[in-house]
Amino acid sequence: MTTNFNEFRKMHTVVRSTVLVLLLLPALGVAQSPDMVLDRDRPWASEADQLLREGRIEAAREAYRELSAQHGDDWGLWLRIAWVELQSGNADAALDASERSVELADDALDPFFMRAQIRAALGDADGAMESLRESLERSPEDAEVLRTMATMALDLGRWAEAVGLLRELIRIEPDRPDYRVDVGRVLLSRGQFDEALRSFRDAESRGADASMCQALIGKAHLGAGRQDDAVQAFRASNAVEANADAWGGLATIHSLRGERAKSIQAFRRAIEFAPDDPDLHYNLGNVLAQSERLEEAEEAYRRALDLDPESALAHTNLAVLLLNRFAVTEAEQHLRLAVQLDRRQASPHLHLGRIAGARYAFEDAIRHYSAYRARVRDPQEKQRIAEVIESLRTRAERSEAARAAGKVHLLQLMVGTEERARELIVRLRRGEDFYVLAHQESEIAETAGVDVGFIEVGSIQEAFREPVRKLSVGEFTEPIATDRGYHVFMRVE
C-alpha cells in the first residue's frame, strides 16, 4: 500500500495561523481577569482581590457575592463576579453578572470586553461582536476597542470584518506598521496574494521588521506562482536575519522543482530556527518519504505528531509508512484518528477499506470504500472504487453462503519448533497481522500458502479438527504438533 506524499500541509506558502502583532486577548472564550493590582477606588474589595490573586477562585467568588449586598451598584464588583463565575464553570451566571456590569458602567469599556468574551465562551459569536460594537459606539475612535474587535474577528474567522477593522486602525494610527502586516497576513491566508504583497511592502517601508516582511513577501510571490521572485525575497529575508519562514519557503520551492536533497537541507535549516513547528517536521517528512528515506520520514512524522497530535494529515502519512512495513495494527490506529480529526479527508478511508478487505471484514471495507468514493472528485477513481465495492459485495455473498453451509475460512502457518510457534503467537497477541506474519515466517508459505480458504472442518486432518472447530472468528489455535512441524490456524470467517 503506497500513497502520494505531495500534499504538503500549507507548505509555509500561506500563514499557518493568524498570529498577529496586535492580539490583546487570550485564547478565544477565556475571559481576561480584571486587573487585580491594588484598586484604590475599591479598598473594600482588597481582601477578595487577594483571594483571587492567590488563585482561590471559589473563596473569591463567595467573598465578591457577599460584597454585592453593600456594593451592588458598583460595575467593577460585577466585573469581578463575572470573571470568577466563568472560571468556576458557571457561564450563565457569568453572563448575567457581565450584563449587570454593563448596565452600571458609565464610561468604562471593560464590562463590554468581559461580556464579549463570555458570549464567545458560550459560542455566541454574533453576541460577542455586538457587545464590542456597543463599546465602539461609546468611543468611536478608541484604538483599544478596534484592536479588541479585530482580534476577536480574527479568532472567529471573520476575515473581511477583521480587515475592515484593521484598515480603520490604519486610518487612526497611520504610522504603525504592524496593522499593515496583519492585513497582509489575512489577505495572504485568503489567497489575495498581490494585495498582501502591497501591504507587506507598505509595512516594511514604515519600519516593520525587514526580515519578517521579506519572508512574507516571498510567501505572497510563491502563492501567486512567481517562484523566482519568491526565492529572491526569501534570500533577502535570510540576509537580514536567518529565520524559519524564509528557509521553509526555500525548502518548498526546492521541493516543487524536484530538488529533494536541497529541500531536505532547507527544511532542516528551518527547523533549527523553529524546532517546535509541527508543519516543518510534517513537510520534511513528506520530502523524505518522496526520497524513499522512509525511516527518517517516519521519525519526522512522529515528531510532528508529538507537537500537534491533532494533525490528521500527519496521522495519515505516518500510517502509510507503517503499512509499507506491515505494521498494520498501529497504522490502523493512526488512520482511525485521522478520520475522527478530519472527516473531510478521503485517503484514510481508502486505507481502512484495504485493511478491512484484507481481514475479510467485507461490510467495514464497503463502508470505508464508499466513504472514500464520496470524497474523491476524479470520475475514473470513482468508477474504479465502484468496481471494488461491487467485488466486495460478491465476496461477501459467497462468504455468507459458505458459512451457511457450515464451512470456515482459515489462515495457516507452520514452523519447526513449538518454541518458535509460541513466539509467533505472542506477536499475534500483540496485534501483528496473521497474514503478514505467516508470509514472513511460515515454512510452508510458498508451497501450501497462507490462505486455506473455506473448508469443511470434517475434511481436514484429524489432529486439526477439534482445535479448529472451537475457533470463533478472529481467534487462532495453540500450536498443533504434526510430523512436519507445529501448525497454527486462524479463523477469519
How many domains would you assign to the chain?
Answer: 2
Q: Is residue 52 part of a domain?
A: no
Q: Is residue 452 part of a domain?
A: yes
Residue ranges making up the domain that contains 359: 355-403
Q: Is residue 430 part of a domain?
A: yes
Q: Is residue 54 part of a domain?
A: no
The predicted pLDDT at position 133 comes to 81
Confidence of residue 25 (pLDDT cuts 50, 70, 90): very low
Of the residues 366, 386, 403, the one at which a domain ends? 403
Co-location of 374 and 396 in the same domain: yes
Confidence of residue 35 (pLDDT cuts 50, 70, 90): low
pLDDT single digits (tens) 136-157: 777 777 788 888 888 888 888 8
The CATH number given to whatever domain includes residue 444 is 3.10.50.40
Co-location of 439 and 412 in the same domain: yes
Co-location of 398 and 452 in the same domain: no
Mean pLDDT, rounded, for 352-373: 95
Co-location of 419 and 472 in the same domain: yes
The predicted pLDDT at position 354 comes to 95
Indicate the residue type of 270: A
Q: Is residue 323 part of a domain?
A: no
Co-location of 458 and 433 in the same domain: yes
Co-location of 484 and 416 in the same domain: yes
Q: Is residue 428 part of a domain?
A: yes
Confidence of residue 362 (pLDDT cuts 50, 70, 90): very high
Give the integer Cα–Cα distance in Å for 198 and 177: 13
Q: Is residue 366 part of a domain?
A: yes
Co-location of 431 and 468 in the same domain: yes
Mean pLDDT, rounded, for 387-410: 94
pLDDT single digits (tens) 297-339: 999 999 999 999 999 999 999 999 999 988 898 999 999 999 9
pLDDT single digits (tens) 60-76: 999 999 999 999 999 99
Of the residues 403, 419, 434, the one at which a domain ends? 403
SS (H, E, C) the chain: CCCCCCCCCCCCCCCCCCCCCCCCCCCCCCCCCCCCCCCCCCHHHHHHHHHHHCCCHHHHHHHHHHHHHHHCCCHHHHHHHHHHHHHCCCHHHHHHHHHHHHHHCCCCCHHHHHHHHHHHHCCCHHHHHHHHHHHHHHCCCCHHHHHHHHHHHHHCCCHHHHHHHHHHHHHHCCCCCHHHHHHHHHHHHCCCHHHHHHHHHHHHHCCCCHHHHHHHHHHHHHHCCCHHHHHHHHHHHHHHCCCHHHHHHHHHHHHHCCCHHHHHHHHHHHHHHCCCCHHHHHHHHHHHHHCCCHHHHHHHHHHHHHHCCCCHHHHHHHHHHHHHCCCHHHHHHHHHHHHHHCCCCCHHHHHHHHHHHHCCCHHHHHHHHHHHHHHCCCHHHHHHHHHHHHHHHHHHHHHHHHHHCCCEEEEEEEECCHHHHHHHHHHHHCCCCHHHHHHHHCCCCCCCCCEEEEECHHHCCHHHHHHHHCCCCCCECCCEECCCCEEEEEECC
The predicted pLDDT at position 284 comes to 98
Q: Indicate if the pLDDT at residue 37 is higher than 60.
A: no
Of the residues 403, 432, 463, the one at which a domain ends? 403
The predicted pLDDT at position 6 comes to 39
The predicted pLDDT at position 38 comes to 60
Q: Is residue 31 part of a domain?
A: no
pLDDT single digits (tens) 245-294: 999 999 999 999 999 999 999 999 999 999 999 999 999 999 999 999 99
Q: Indicate if the pLDDT at residue 488 is higher than 90.
A: yes
